[in-house]
Structures are given as structure tokens and as C-alpha cells.
Structure 1
Amino acid sequence: MRIAVPNKGRLHEPTIDLLERAGLHLENGADRKLYAETVDPEVTVLFVRAADIPEYVADGAADLGITGLDQVHEAGVDVAELLDLEFGRCRLVLAAPEDGDVERVADLEGKTVATEFPNVTREFVAERGVDADVVEVTGATELTPHVEMADAIVDITSTGTTLAVNRLAVVEEVLESSVRLFAREDVADEPKVREVQTALSSVLAAEGKRYLMMNVPVDRLDDVREVIPGLGGPTIMDIASGGERGDSPGSQNATRSDDGAEKVAVHAVVDERDVFETITEVKKLGASGILVTEIERLVD
């Protein structure tokens, strides 16, 4: 199976990092190589221009592709979207000079729009019933209104800073985009494709989560359960035997601590932002031996 990924630019490093964290470690992938093997002998990574990845997938040169939703819309190909990878977030916006006469989409009638996304832009103005001349440019899009090449632009923005520096104001959002995992439609349900999807989603699910472990007096267990904002409730285990009790423990096999209190081990997955408050609360309830660790992957 072949996965096409961005060969350079702002999406390259985050994509490679995600694959590595998902267990698809690259092997023999020198900077100038066009492809790399992975630790999985069935999976090969192809390094492709981000804008070309949708075509690679649709035409069968690759089975899976990782690129921005904006690139897929611009390519106009039929591929199956499997997963939002939650990085590379940006907006494709219509913008015009702050002191110009384009203040709404209807003002584009008979005017010129410069963009690196001509297909998306033509579709956008057509849907609004506006007759505008769309001109494709390959860079410095923000400059075109100031050199009288265009009356407005459609361009990518993340924070809006570049537009503001160039005295351009957002007229309307055209498309909200992020990096997605796409598949060729005829292989979208194949086991290997689903295996890769699960590996990537497990990394995303673990982000911002922590694994919390502690010893808790049995007589305070219900109170502790109330303050732990875990996924599906905490797991309760006997400390001595290590036997898992699920979420409905009894106390007949609990370990008795030095102070005579019967205790069990409580494990839970919690949001990172809740860790400080949770530890404070469970300590008040008698929890001890509290340990917090990072989670690399979380599979449902």
C-alpha cells in the first residue's frame, strides 16, 4: 500500500511526525528520495507535492493521501475522506483592499480575482451568481491588487496577519481547511487502509490526555469516582493481585495499607487540563501513590 505525503513545506514535518508516532517509522528515506519504506513491509510512503496528492490518489498511483482539504477541492477529484488529522488548519478567504470598492461578493461583478485556487474560486463566484474574471497566479497573491493585476484575491490565511500587513480585508470565507487522510474510493474499506486509519486516529485520540494511577481507600472509592473525569469511568484493580475489577469493585480482596485502610488501585484516562484539579481533589479523599504519565496512543 502506498501513502502519498507532502514532500516539503509546512505540512511535511507534521505529517512525518504523525506517521512516526503512529508506528509507521520510515526507513531509508533520505531527504532527496521520492519514496521511503516503513517498518511495515506492506506500506510505502511517497513524497509528492501537496497539490498533486489528490491526483495521485484518484489516479491509483497511491492508495492513501495526506494533504489539505483545500487541495482536494481544488483538484476536483473523487476520493474518500477518512480522517481529519487536526493540523494545518487554515481558511481560504476572499479578500480585497481595505480602501477599495469590493466589500461583498456581489461587488465582484465584472472584476478580476487573483488566486492560486482557480477552480475553487470559479465555483465560489458561480454559486453566488457573480460574473468575475478569475486569474491564476503562482505566488505573491497579496501583491496583485496593489499592482492593478486584480481587484480582489482568494488566498489561504491562518491568522490574517499577512492580509492585514498588505492592507487587505477579508470579505468572506470561501473554505475552511485542515489536513485530512484520503483514500482511493475502491480501497477505502480494505483492512490495511483501516489499519492505518486506526493507527493515526489512536495518536490523535491520545493528544491532550494523561494516564492517572493512584491507590484509593475502598471506603472513599465512590467519592473518588465522582471527581475523576475519566473516559468511561476509572478501572479498579486489586493492588496485591493486579486483578482488574472494572467499575464495580467489592472490598474483599483489597490490600490493607500500613495505616490499616483497605485500598485498591484506580487507573483512569483524563484530559491534561483536568490533571491538576483532579490530583488536588483525590488527595483530599485519601488517595496516595499518585502517578501521571503521557499516553502515546489511545485505541477505542
Structure 2
Amino acid sequence: MSNRKLKIAIQKSGRLFEDSLRILKDCGISIDNGRDQLKASARNFPLEVMYLRNGDIPQYLNDGVVDLAIIGENLLVEKGRDIEIIERLGFSKCRVSLAAPKGGRIRSLADLNGKKIATSYPNTVKEYLDKNGVDAELHIINGSVEIAPNIGLADGIVDIVSSGSTLFKNNLEEVETILMSEAVLAGSPVMDEELKALTERLKFRIRSVLNARDSRYVLLNAPNDKIQDIIRILPGMRSPTVLPLAEEGWSSLHTVINKEKFWEIIDELKSVGAEGILVCPIEKMVF
């Protein structure tokens, strides 16, 4: 039996660190973790976690130093265009946006013709400018990009935006969104078949966790003459389970619904006679 392990990279600090460890934990993978460690092994899955500097991860994937990584899609667009996205993870959502001083002359991308843009994403920005026929000078900054307009270094910036609070604090406003991003599971292009098979095992677990996070288990009671109306409303995995209640003429229906449509569906269910609606979180969903 092979003793090989998948090597997965996650940020050693920053916004993806906690969420990356959480999804591995939710997959049932126990990691002997320490924040100051360079790497840690899983006790119950052939996996080794490597804590790396965010900007180095795409190169490590390309070189096969690590087999997988949990990384922001925006960084792959900037530094790892040829790296495969194995699974979108749905957390750490953000956007890469053009921003400029509030009330200033920069109101659109075209207004930056002949102007200066500060950014940590020069490849992404240059491609976007070229595509839109805008000629601007780029200042590459690794750090606090948002201060550049205030100190006269640039007329606008392109940076990651989540809540927008950092822009607000620096008297900046979004002008245009260049790229939407989220955390992804990315794979090295040089994995062999054995490592790909291990990756499939991990991907199966991750998908089960993500499906559960996006869904809710719903139980409700309804008069029998309303069951068909309710079934038409419920977007279940296949069809809801219908069980007779002790009270004659009534049944209990069990199904799964998407959490994003939860309140809309609940309102419809109530309008056609559903009662005693119980909603439960789901730990895992295995197909």
C-alpha cells in the first residue's frame, strides 16, 4: 500500500487561513495544526498541509512543489492562468475593482487614459486595459495600495474589495469591477495518476460539505388534498418523502431546499396550507 500524501498549500496568514482549515475539518480531516508551523500532517487522510505565503503558491503549484492549493481565484488570474480550478469553494468572495477618489474626475475606466494606476495585480490590470483600449501607466505596489491617490502616487487604484470599508476610510469609491473572485481548490499540472486519485477522494468530501452548506432540510405537515400543490413548489433533490400522520387526512413531507431560496419557498408553502414547518441544517450531503 502506498504511503504517498497529497501536499496542499494554504495561506499561512490572511483572510483565507481560517476558512481553509475549516473546510478541511468539515471534510473530517484532522490536522495537527500550529500557526507557526511550515507544514502539518493529517492524522486520518493522506494529506500534508503546507502554510505558504499567498503570492508564492501559484509558482509552487506550477512546479509541483505542492499538489493542491486553496487560493483566491484572483491570484490565479494574476499569476497562474494555466493552473486548473478543481472546485469553487464559495467562501472569501471578493472583487478586483478600479477605485478613485470620491467626487474626483475619474468616473469611468476611460477617464484613466494617460493617468496612473497603482495596483498589486499588474497582469490582470494590463490585460483589462488593453481589452478596453485604455493606455495608463501602472505603479506596482505590494502593500497598502489604497493610500496611493492620497499621496499623489496615482490617480486611481485596482485592488481587492470585500466590504468596501477600506475604500471608504481612504475617501475612495469603486468605479468599475474588473473581476469577481472566490476561494478555489486548484491543482498542479504535474500530478501523476496516483495523486489525481487521492485528489478525487478529497474533492468528493469537499463537494459533500459544500452541498450541505448550500441546503436546508425541511419537514412540514399538510392536509392530503394540498400535497400535490406543495410538491409543485418544492425543488427537492428528486421528490419529497411523504409520510402519513396519526391524524387522518394529514401527511408529513420531508425534502431539501437551497438556502438562497429558503424564505421565498417558505412563504409559498404557507400560502398553500403547509403547517408546522421545521428547518434543519445539514452536515453532509453525499450523492
1:181 and 1:264 map into 2 onto residues whose CA distance is: 43
State yes or no: 1:233 paired with 2:220.
Answer: no
CA contact (8 A) 1:188 1:194 kept: no
State yes or no: 1:128 paired with 2:127.
Answer: no
Select 1:7's aligned residue among 4, 7, 12.
Answer: 12
Larger deviation, residues 198-207 vs 130-139: 130-139
Select 1:111's aligned residue among 109, 115, 135.
Answer: 115
Q: CA deviation at 1:127?
A: 2.5
The normalised TM-score by structure 1 is: 0.79
Quote the residue 2:3 is aligned against.
Answer: none
2:59 and 2:236 map into 1 onto residues whose CA distance is: 42
Quote the residue 2:28 is aligned against.
Answer: 23
SS in 2 for 1:130: coil
Deviation per CA, 1:237-278: give whole Å up to 9, x if none. Answer: 7xxxxxxxxxxxxxxxx8x94x6x498875422345258558
1:122 and 1:228 map into 2 onto residues whose CA distance is: 47
SS in 2 for 1:39: coil
Cα pair distance change 1:291/1:148, threshold 3 Å: closer
Deviation per CA, 1:156-205: give whole Å up to 9, x if none. Answer: 11132322332223222111111111112344982221221221121111
Quote the residue 2:283 is aligned against.
Answer: 296
Structure showing greater radius of gyration is 1
Quote the residue 2:257 is aligned against.
Answer: 270
The normalised TM-score by structure 2 is: 0.82
CA contact (8 A) 2:149 2:156 kept: yes
CA contact (8 A) 1:93 1:175 kept: yes
Quote the residue 1:240 is aligned against.
Answer: none
2:24 and 2:69 map into 1 onto residues whose CA distance is: 12
Aligned length: 277
SS in 1 for 2:148: helix
Quote the residue 2:166 is aligned against.
Answer: 162
Cα pair distance change 1:124/1:226, threshold 3 Å: closer
Deviation per CA, 1:113-141: give whole Å up to 9, x if none. Answer: 11111222222222233332211112221
CA contact (8 A) 1:102 1:108 kept: yes
Partner AA of 1:298 in structure 2:
M
Cα pair distance change 1:276/1:120, threshold 3 Å: closer
State yes or no: 1:201 paired with 2:215.
Answer: no
Cα pair distance change 1:280/1:185, threshold 3 Å: same
Cα pair distance change 1:208/1:277, threshold 3 Å: farther
CA contact (8 A) 2:29 2:45 kept: no
Structure 1, unaligned runs of 5 or more = 238-253
Q: CA deviation at 1:39?
A: 3.4
CA contact (8 A) 1:38 1:44 kept: yes
Partner AA of 1:16 in structure 2:
L
CA contact (8 A) 1:53 1:66 kept: no
Cα pair distance change 1:263/1:94, threshold 3 Å: closer
Structure 2, unaligned runs of 5 or more = 1-5
SS in 2 for 1:19: helix
2:130 and 2:231 map into 1 onto residues whose CA distance is: 56
State yes or no: 1:180 paired with 2:189.
Answer: no
